[in-house]
């Protein structure tokens, strides 16, 4: 077995605390957001994941994903909405599937923080298409579905 075969078969362990969290860029988030970009695999892998913490009132811009996105809410209460659909409450333990190419946003409610794990696949080097911010008027518009 060659060295390159061994390298491809070795397990990689990324130690807790070895990657620094970053502040969510104002170009794609409204409010106070912290991103922990946990893992992006080397090719041919394409599913990356991160932990996103939203302070009350914080949210993503409108965006799409070429292969969709899975969100798993780990703490708090938030809101999510696909364009043209209802704004829906999401809570710790909920799993959300954001369909391929569908414009949507997600974030905390106006009064509570929310944390989720985001799992996103990359297609042709791209995993998200960022668009304009969600206006305060749209963000605060009701009613909110509580399924």
pLDDT digits (tens, 9 = 90+) for 79-133: 999 999 999 999 999 999 998 889 999 999 999 999 999 999 999 989 999 999 9
Note the helical H segments in 1-147.
3-9, 136-140
What's the pTM?
0.88
- What would the CATH number be for the domain defined by 20-141? 2.60.120.10
Rounded to a whole number of angstroms, the CA Rg of the chain reads 17
Domain ranges in the chain are: 20-141
| Residue with tokens 């899975």, as numbered in its chain | 70
What percent helix, strand, coil does the chain show, rounded to 5?
A: 10, 45, 50
List Cβ neighbours of 3 (8 Å cut-off, separation of 6 or more): none
Closest CA to 31 of 139, 125, 130, 124: 139
Which pLDDT value is given to residue 100? Answer: 81
């Amino acid at each position: 077995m060659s060295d390159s075969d061994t390298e491809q078969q070795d397990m990689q362990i990324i130690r807790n605390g070895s990657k620094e969290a970053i502040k969510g860029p104002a170009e794609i988030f409204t409010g106070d957001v912290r991103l922990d970009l946990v893992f992006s695999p080397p090719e041919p892998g394409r599913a990356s994941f991160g932990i996103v913490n939203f302070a009350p009132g914080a949210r993503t811009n409108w965006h799409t994903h070429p292969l969709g996105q899975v969100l798993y809410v780990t703490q708090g209460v938030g809101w999510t909405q696909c364009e043209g659909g209802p704004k829906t409450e999401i809570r710790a333990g909920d799993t959300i599937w954001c369909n391929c190419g569908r414009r949507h946003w997600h974030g905390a409610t106006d009064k509570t923080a929310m944390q989720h794990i985001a799992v996103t696949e990359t297609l042709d080097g791209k995993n998200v298409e960022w668009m304009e911010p969600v206006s305060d008027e749209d963000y605060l518009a009701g009613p909110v579905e509580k399924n």
